[in-house]
Amino acid sequence: MELWFTELQSKSIKMSYRVKDVLHTEKTKYQNLAIIETEHFGRMLILDDVVQLTMKDEFIYHEMMAHVPLVTHGNPERVLVIGGGDGGTLREILKHPVKEAHLVEIDERVIEASKKFFPALSVAFEDPRAKVFCEDGIAYVKRFKNYYDVIIVDSTDPVGPAVGLFAKEFYKDIYEALTDKGVFVAQTESPFYYEDLLKNVYSAVSSIFPHTAVYTATIPTYPGSLWTFTMGSKQIDPLTSDISNIPDLDTKYYTPSIQRSCFNLPAFINEIISK
Ligand code: AG3
């Protein structure tokens, strides 16, 4: 018998993965959570039928989520991840000499499932510098002023519990929660399937932060593969920041030269964000 998992990448596009084994399914308070073993990409985390990560390509997304903003900042001490309950982004942050890395995840079942099924990511939770809060990230950031050096929003797609994580109000609270040199980044989806989202986030972030920049990475299991990240920075220009002191990072995608080149955008993405 052939078993396949299909993600509806848009209303008219499907991507299917041959499944070796279904390891876990559950309905949490917030979403449907599934963990399967796929033939080509290995173990996969799925939330509400959407691929969140696979063992084969998770390094690309998590390295680019963490290293680009941390290196832009230069010497971050306190870093916050909003979402990212699998621990992948946190694991990458902890490769830097940060003092504290906090993670606020609304669904504690994602954290628990990751501890059981994704030890290579959830090792991050065992680091003494890591602290986890299980609550709504939107309410959480409101309580902080001038506190975090870097804030990373590792959210699901802009549907259901994540809608508020793409709103201007939330970006204002993030701005306040950041220190003077603070840097913020959010995953902002595919420029092919979520063009309006990218445009709207860019416009919201640039109405709040003095510097806004988009960068990309290629992630095979996300719709369209070409993925965007939008950065807001309070002081440092991400395109000319001092990168003479990048720590020695053990990475498989990120390199010091990608720190600069990832901000070089194809013309059609420049066109989307300049509208
Ligand atoms: N965050 C979700 C990225 C969005 C994936 N979208 C999709 N497949 N349609 C990933 C969480 C991993 N830490």
Question: Residue 55 gets which letter from DSSP?
Answer: T
What integer pLDDT is reported at residue 213 of this predicted model?
98
Q: How far apart are CA 66 and CA 242, in angstroms?
A: 17
Cβ atoms of 227 and 219 closer than 8 Å: yes
pLDDT digits (tens, 9 = 90+) for 50-72: 999 999 999 999 999 999 999 99
Asked if 154 is an active-site residue, the reply is yes
Q: Are residues 8 and 108 in the same domain?
A: no
pLDDT at 275: 83
Residue of minimum CA distance from atom 10 in ligand 1: 52
Nearest-angstrom CA–CA distance, 258 and 59? 14
Domain count, the chain: 2
CB-defined site of ligand 1, < 6 Å: 50-53, 84, 86, 88-89, 154, 156-157, 187, 222-223
Average pLDDT over residues 172-194: 97
Q: Tokens standing for 146? A: 């001038």
Q: Which amino acid is at 178?
A: L
242 and 206, same structural domain? yes
How far, in Å, CA of 140 to CA of 83, rounded? 11
pTM: 0.98
Pocket test for ligand 1, best of 111, 192, 222 (most atoms within 8 A of CB): 222
Cα(226)–Cα(229) distance, integer angstroms: 10
Domain span holding position 184: 58-274
Q: Are residues 217 and 155 in the same domain?
A: yes
For range 230-243, the mean pLDDT: 97
Tell me, yes or no, whether 73 and 87 share the same domain: yes
Active-site residue (options: 57, 107, 149, 154): 154
Judge if 233 and 157 occupy the same domain: yes
Per-residue model confidence as pLDDT tens digits over 205-214? 999 999 999 9
Same structural domain, 126 and 245? yes
Cα distance between residue 243 and residue 270, in whole Å: 24
Residue 238 has pLDDT above 90, yes or no: yes
Cα 244 to averaged position of ligand 1 atoms, centre (Å):
31
244 contacts: CB under 8 Å, gap ≥ 6: none
